[in-house]
Amino acid sequence: MPGYLDPGRGPSAAIRMHGCPVPRCAAWLPASAFICRADRRLVPAPLWAELWRTWDGGRGAATTDHQGACRAAIEAAVREGTCATESTRISTVS
Ligand SMILES: [Zn+2]
């Protein structure tokens, strides 16, 4: 699949950026980051642990387990429904 994960397309490869995978989020991230920090806080710890477990240091990147964990984490962040791009709402959490 061509795109931001495509290696070797010029000197910017090492700092390739991609959009936060949460659909409503406008944050841009380095390739090493899965999700922006604001959305990261919305992902429940068990889902985040599963994400890392299935990632397995990169070896699990292409597995359906890991892709399922990614989707679950993104969906959780979507459900929680706030983001760095809506910082005014973060401050209203009580
Ligand atoms: Zn985000």
Using the mean position of ligand 1's atoms as its centre, give its distance from the Cα of residue 84 in Å: 7
CA of residue 52 relative to chain centroid, distance: 12
Cα 29 to averaged position of ligand 1 atoms, centre (Å): 9
Residue 19 domain flag: yes
pTM for the whole thing?
0.68
Which residues have CB atoms below 5 A from the ion given as ligand 1? 20, 22, 25, 27, 36, 39
Determine, yes or no, domain membership for 48.
Answer: yes
Segments forming the whole domain that contains residue 38: 11-83
pLDDT in tens, 26-61: 999 988 889 999 999 999 999 999 999 999 999 999
- What pLDDT score does 83 carry? 45
**What is the per-residue pLDDT across 63-90, written as a single tens digit (0 to 9) for each?**
999 999 999 999 999 988 754 455 444 4
Across 52-83, b (16+ Cβ under 10 Å) vs e yields eebbeeeebeeeeebeebbebbbebbbeeebb
Alpha carbons 52 and 49: distance in angstroms, whole number: 5
| Domains contained in the chain, number | 1
